[in-house]
A = this chain, B = another copy of it.
Amino acid sequence: MARIVQKYGGTSVGDVDRIKNVAARIKANRDAGNELVVVVSARAGVTNELIARAKAVCAMPSEREMDQLLSIGEQETIALTAMALHGIGVEAVSYTGAQAGIFTDTVHTKAKIKTINAKPLIKDLEAGKVIIVAGFQGINDDGQITTLGRGGSDLTAIALAAAIHADKCEIYTDVDGVYTADPRVVKDAKKLQEISYDEMLELASLGSKVMQTRSVEFASKYNVVFEVRSSFNNNPGTIVKQEVAYMEKVVVRGVAVDKDQAKVVVSNIADKPGTAAKVFRALAEANINVDMIVQNVGKDGVANLTFTVPQTETLKAEQTLAPVLKAIGGSVTLDDKIAKLSVVGVGMRTHSGVASTLFSALADAGINLELISTSEIKISVVIAKDKADDAARAAHKAFQLDQLG
């Protein structure tokens, strides 16, 4: 008997039939003797419908009222899931975020979990009931409903797993697990049996889209081992944890490509202290996410600053920089025909030569590097967008990732 937290996303509970399917999976698991806490999201599409209705009555809905509104999506799913379980003879009880004792700070639409008072939930769990918890939501000390922002249901599951000392935490999504590369691009990409938090974090932030980074960070902080797997089949998924077997031998565990970035070049600015600071302070104040910064000093005391931003923020970046450059001189050019390719692996901490292997493989494939940045467990390069898939295949092969998994 194990104590398990499962999380099913919006696609898995997208309609009445899928909710019944999830109920059947839960029953099988319960019949095997496990204690189960199940976190569910709103039905796919419901949140967008509610947002559309909000925009129809008010151009700029308040975040407090958005939370009152959006939290009903999960509340519908928990009740229907509990009912579907009753329909097949499984004792179950639904919990809203507030009822599950998920206390957050007061920041509406992107609240942080402060504490979980899981006592009532544990009592029901130990009485043999399956517990169905609304993901994505909590309550603050004033009794206001809050929501946790994107990826919030994953966070609910992982935080609950920590709070109730679960043996396992299973995140069910519409993908099978974490792959060494995008299988649609790299034919011999392999599903990883295990991956470390740090690697998962880099892959999540690099656009592999399986999970939001904050959930992985939370899991890492509280050492919650979780498995990413599909709700549409019974294949084993990928286990995410602190220390991964044969970690030392594997240098690179995955290749990620992000095609949603754009490159910004600020040219001909004065090469003196404080110039770069002015540029990035302006971008930070405009809440623009800046990644991969490189500065080249040219001749005649002028410098070029290059960095990447999300494509959706390029116009905002240009508008933000205009007054700054008026003051300090220089000009801006934008390029959204780029992609960022990264190789990730905790093993590279102790191995040299990773950079040269990557750069050689890309050079052999005739791919030019526009920017390079490195961290302890990651090397990222900016390349032409139309070469991104070729580059992923070349890197995957160079690090022999088809041998993994």
Contact = CB atoms under 8 A, between A and B. Distances in A.
Given A65-B86, A86-B62, A86-B65, A80 B93 contact: no
Given A72-B72, A98-B143, A54 B66 contact: no
Contact of A84 (B57, B79, B80): B57
Contacts of A144: 99
B143 A56 contact: no
5 contacts: A16-B56, A57-B83, A65-B86, A69-B76, A71-B75
Contacts of A83: 54, 57-58, 61-62, 65, 69
A10 to B, nearest CB: 16
Contacts of A82: 62, 65, 68
For chain A, the bracket of interface size reads 35 or more
A83 B96 CA distance: 23
Interface in A79-117: 79-80, 82-84, 86-87, 93-94, 96, 98-99
Total identical chains: 2
A68 B75 contact: yes
A57 B20 contact: yes
Contacts of A161: none
Contacts of A93: 64-65
A193 to B, nearest CB: 35
A369 to B, nearest CB: 49
Contacts of A78: 68
Contact of A87 (B23, B59, B79, B120): B59
Nearest to A54: B83
A20 B16 CA distance: 32
